[in-house]
């Protein structure tokens, strides 16, 4: 059996209790069997980068991490990854802040990762690289003579060529991705955009199997939507329904319906537009005044980036305006919090909610939508209001699909959810739950790795 080597920007190290935290850790739990290696950044910064990876073992898994220099962090992570690639790949070209020095820092850190990983590799290792921070690492490994199978999975969207070429040196990134044997995406649209970009940047056309050959190397592609352990999350939600925090929330609602949004505090999540839509619900459908409360949990992230600070100020203002216009002495329509809430607690909140608002402006998948469906009481389920621009919308077609830029339409969808007959809610939820149970974290790992290991390589 070949060893699996997972490479990601951050390594999700075991906690003191032995559990692995973080979205990628949860998604890869099925694949990370004893003997696997997880390689990446430790999250620590110093005067210089590590001259070799620090290797530890825990629970049969090996973790290899390196520290970055402060300059590496600023250029690779804050500068190019989050200042250029993140807005670009979420179609927000107006927010792109390209600096040549940051781009060169990005390439240098991808090379650094390759330099530190190569001494740890075995000839039969299967390498699986994850996400936009490491777009050029497969190519960096090839330039160091690595002939192992290499897979790459992009967890966020991929844009069409017309958008991609806004970024200087975009063609370099596409050619570097082609060094992988298998490139994976969340949706068919993302894969199509990548293949069109390959044609644009490399003058190579895909074949009928959605693969292509360039300079003698064949690259295949796969659509492998990521999912959750639906049954496990459902059990968590049922337990959490009896927790003290859930009971406190129930008491505070005083019989009112709950709408919930759970997101990172990020400009891709459409939070200002969501607040506007909730305000429009109260304005367009006054019958819901004093009968619904929106709880928006938006955990702070990337606070050293200016535009995230601006977003927080904008949301503070909008929340104040809505509550100032509509609140009563015993009712606050919009509850907005930016601290992190325990995932188990959130599961209980999902089960209680009548509506989930998952309305990003663009998202690779968005597992909140799937968690909400899994958490529901099948006999009296809530309704999912889902952005057409979330990757999950390609699968979860029985949700109320909306354009998040249209506040009136989102408000009307919330109204439809609130007045929807029980029979329709049950039917929609049953169809959605079947899909969430079928496309899981385990199936994501299984499908991608099975395809990668089936690829013939030239040793």
**Catalytic residue of the set 363, 412, 415, 429:** 363
Residue pair 139/176 in contact (Cβ under 8 Å)? The answer is: yes
How many Cβ atoms sit within 10 Å of the Cβ of residue 133?
24
Annotated catalytic residue 412: no
Contact yes or no for 427/130 (Cβ under 8 A): no
Question: Catalytic annotation on 130?
Answer: no
Q: Is 35 left (phi over 0), alpha (psi -120 to 50) or beta?
A: left
For the CA atoms of 123, 126, 131, 135, what is the dihedral angle to 10 degrees? 40
Residues 234, 345: Cα–Cα separation, whole Å = 13
Burial class of residue 228 in the structure, from the number of CB atoms within 10 Å of its CB (0-12 exposed, 13-18 middle, 19+ buried): buried
Contact 88, 135 (CB under 8 A): no
> Which letter, b or e, does each residue of 288-324 get, where b requires 16 or more Cβ atoms within 10 Å of its Cβ?
bebebbbbbbbeeebeebeebeebeeebeebbeebbe
- The Cα 437–Cα 424 span in angstroms is 20
DSSP lists the bridge partners of residue 384 as 356
Candidates 85, 72, 92; CA nearest to 170 is 85
By DSSP bridging, strand 54-58 and strand 61-69 are antiparallel
In three-state secondary structure terms, 308 is helix
Q: What phi-psi label fits residue 75: left (phi over 0), alpha (psi between -120 and 50 degrees) or beta?
A: alpha
User: Which residues, in sequence order, are CB contacts of 331 under 8 Å at separation 6+?
Assistant: 256, 290, 293
Listed residue (190, 36, 194, 7) closest to 110, CA to CA: 7
Answer whether 313's CB lies under 8 Å from 300's CB. no
3-state helix, strand, coil in the chain (%, to 5): 45, 20, 35
Looking at 72, 125, 130, 155, which residue is catalytic? Answer: 155
User: Where in the sequence numbering do the catalytic residues fall?
Assistant: 155, 363
């Amino acid at each position: 059996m070949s060893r699996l080597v997972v490479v990601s920007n951050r390594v999700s190290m075991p906690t003191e209790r032995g559990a692995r935290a973080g979205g990628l850790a949860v998604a890869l739990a099925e694949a990370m069997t004893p003997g696997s290696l997880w390689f990446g950044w430790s999250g620590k910064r110093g005067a210089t980068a590590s001259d070799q990876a620090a290797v530890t073992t825990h629970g049969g898994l090996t973790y290899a991490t390196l520290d970055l220099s402060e300059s590496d962090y600023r250029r690779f992570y804050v500068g190019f990854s989050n200042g250029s690639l993140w807005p670009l790949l979420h179609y927000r070209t107006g927010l792109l802040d390209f600096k040549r020095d940051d781009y060169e820092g990005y390439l240098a850190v991808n090379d650094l990762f390759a330099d530190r990983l190569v001494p740890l590799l075995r000839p039969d290792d299967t390498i699986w690289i994850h996400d936009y921070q490491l777009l050029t690492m497969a190519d960096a490994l090839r330039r160091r003579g690595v002939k192992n199978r290499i897979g790459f999975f992009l967890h966020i969207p991929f844009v069409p060529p017309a958008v991609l070429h806004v970024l200087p040196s975009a063609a370099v990134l596409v050619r570097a991705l082609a060094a992988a044997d298998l490139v994976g995406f969340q949706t068919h649209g993302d894969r199509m955009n990548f293949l069109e970009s390959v044609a644009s940047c490399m003058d190579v056309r895909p074949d009928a199997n959605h693969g292509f050959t360039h300079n003698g190397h064949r690259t295949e592609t796969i659509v492998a939507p990521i999912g959750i352990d639906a049954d496990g999350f459902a059990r968590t939600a049922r337990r959490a329904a009896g927790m003290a925090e859930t009971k406190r929330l129930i008491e505070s609602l005083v019989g009112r319906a709950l709408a919930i949004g759970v997101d990172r505090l990020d400009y891709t999540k459409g939070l200002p537009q969501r607040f506007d839509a909730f305000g429009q619900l109260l304005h367009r459908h006054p019958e819901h005044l004093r009968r619904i409360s929106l709880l928006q949990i938006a955990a702070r992230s990337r606070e050293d980036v200016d535009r995230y600070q601006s977003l927080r100020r904008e949301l503070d203002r909008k929340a104040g305006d809505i509550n100032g216009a509509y609140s009563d002495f015993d009712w606050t329509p919009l509850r907005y919090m930016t601290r992190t809430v325990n995932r188990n607690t959130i599961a209980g909140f999902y089960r209680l909610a009548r509506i989930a608002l998952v309305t990003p402006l663009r998202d690779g998948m968005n597992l909140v939508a799937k968690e909400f469906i899994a958490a529901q009481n099948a006999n009296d389920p809530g309704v999912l209001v889902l952005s057409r621009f979330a990757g999950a919308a390609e699968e979860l077609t029985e949700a109320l699909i909306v354009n998040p830029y249209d506040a009136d339409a989102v408000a009307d969808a919330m109204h439809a959810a609130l007045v929807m007959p029980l029979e329709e809610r049950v039917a929609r939820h049953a169809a959605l739950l079947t899909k969430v149970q079928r496309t899981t974290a385990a199936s994501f790992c299984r499908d991608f790795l099975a395809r990668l290991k089936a690829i013939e390589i030239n040793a």
